[in-house]
Structure 1
Amino acid sequence: MGTDWAPIIIAVVLFILLSPGLLFQMPARTRAMEFGNMCTSGISILVHSVFFFGILTILVIAIGVHIRTG
């Protein structure tokens, strides 16, 4: 029986892509959304973490994505 790597891979990719300020920041300091500003704030961390856990839950639990080895 192999290991299911999907939750790990999906979580790492989403963590990188949804880091506030890397690709986008929502909400930004002066606008609703800014792209590539490399800044962050407490509220944007909260918003991005809700996005992260929402998308992770949908992909791993609701859809049931699996990557098995062995």
Structure 2
Amino acid sequence: MADWGPVLIGVVLFVLLQPGLLFSFPGNHRQIDFGSMKTNGKAIAFHTLIFFALYAILIMAVHVHIYTG
């Protein structure tokens, strides 16, 4: 049996937390930009930290597992 939980959670969080796709914090023109499709170094660093924190909480604390087979 393969555990697809970490893979699926990682892909979903990666898509949702891309800076500029849904929101960018901090934004280029305002504190938070929605749907601007533009990013900067600060936003990339912030979104990376949020991704790691949410991923670690969901995988290690909540124990999200999806088994196939």
Measured against the shorter chain, the TM-score band is: over 0.9
Alignment of 1:32-47 (within 5 A): 32-47=31-46
1:14 matched residue in structure 2: 13
With normalisation by structure 2, the TM-score equals: 0.96
Name the one with the larger strand percent: 2
Q: Percent identity?
A: 49
| Cα deviation, residue 10, structure 1 | 0.5
2:57 matched residue in structure 1: 58
Unaligned runs of at least 5 residues, structure 2: none
1:23 matched residue in structure 2: 22
Letter in 2 for 1:57: A
| Cα deviation, residue 29, structure 1 | 1.7
Poorly superposed stretches of 4+, deviation over 3 Å: none
With normalisation by structure 1, the TM-score equals: 0.95
RMSD: 0.6
Unaligned runs of at least 5 residues, structure 1: none
Q: Distance in 2 between matches of 1:31 and 1:22?
A: 16
Count residues in correspondence: 69
